[in-house]
Amino acid sequence: MPREERQQALDVYEAVASRRAVRGFTDEPVPAEVLRRVLSAAARAPSSGNMQPWQIYVLTGAPLAELKKRAAERVAAGDPGDQREYQMYPSGLTFPYRDRRLAAAEKRYAALGVPREDRRARDEAVAANWDCFGAPVALFCYISRGMGLPQWADTGIYLQTVMLLLRAEGLHSCPQMAWSVYRKSVADVVSPPDGLILFCGMSIGFADTTTSYVRSDRASLAETVTFLNG
């Protein structure tokens, strides 16, 4: 599709509204030029001091198959993962964040038909992360160890820009902190230079529309935004 048509086909509101964490992809390959176009455009994302602190690796084909194989072996062995380099969630979460997190998990497992007490089925759902939910493309976002909180925020802005541009190409994604659990396997495959921390992975591809999901909730505007009008 020419660029002009793509732009007409999906405005920014539609891109934002239609983006969701897709956890089931078809194996349809994503053309390399589409990935290049998306990542070239995403480079326009803003960052503090224009430092662009992200370091991105994109895996398809044999390298991705190798990573999935290594991760699957670790999952099968019950490997609890590598020592974490950052805490995924703060300990001692309180209202409303703890409640939102629990509600999101409940909703997700309900959509999969997995009962709360079925630990094994839940573990299997989590393990799907390390198969990239069947996606043919995985992106890994690293950041220099010396960077501070604002630069970590920069990477988030960048990643959302990537995810919205993927929507403009008819593609879907799932950002995945879960890859930090098996970060050494990622490093074994991508060989990043010293001094980088893996923030997250991102599965990319065409959504498998047969995978059941329930649209995630959001807090009301009044809960998260305060307007001070003059």
Ligand X SMILES: Cc1cc2nc3c(=O)[nH]c(=O)nc-3n(C[C@H](O)[C@H](O)[C@H](O)COP(=O)(O)O)c2cc1C
**Residues engaged in binding ligand X (CB under 6 A):** 20-21, 23, 104, 129, 174-178, 200, 216
Min dist CB 218 to ligand X, Å, is 8
Rg over CA atoms, the chain: 18
Task: Decide whether 210 or 229 has the Cβ nearer to ligand X.
Answer: 210
Min dist CB 221 to ligand X, Å, is 16
Min dist CB 62 to ligand X, Å, is 24
Task: Decide whether 32 or 93 has the Cβ nearer to ligand X.
Answer: 93
Position of minimal CB gap to ligand X: 178
Residue 181: phi and psi, rounded to 5, are -65, -40
Residue 199: C-alpha distances to residues 51, 100, 103, 112, 196 (Å): 17, 22, 24, 27, 9
Task: Decide whether 21 or 39 has the Cβ nearer to ligand X.
Answer: 21
CA angle 203, 61, 141 (to 5 degrees): 40
Task: Decide whether 7 or 106 has the Cβ nearer to ligand X.
Answer: 106
Min dist CB 116 to ligand X, Å, is 17
Task: Decide whether 1 or 46 has the Cβ nearer to ligand X.
Answer: 46
Task: Decide whether 8 or 216 has the Cβ nearer to ligand X.
Answer: 216
End-to-end CA distance of the chain: 46
- Secondary structure class of 54 (helix, strand, coil): strand
Give the residue ranges of DSSP H helices in the chain: 3-9, 12-18, 32-42, 61-76, 97-112, 119-127, 149-168, 183-190, 221-224
Cα 9 from chain centroid (whole Å): 24
Min dist CB 190 to ligand X, Å, is 18
On whether the CB atoms of residues 203 and 26 are closer than 8 A, the answer is no
The full length of the chain comes to 230
Min dist CB 44 to ligand X, Å, is 20
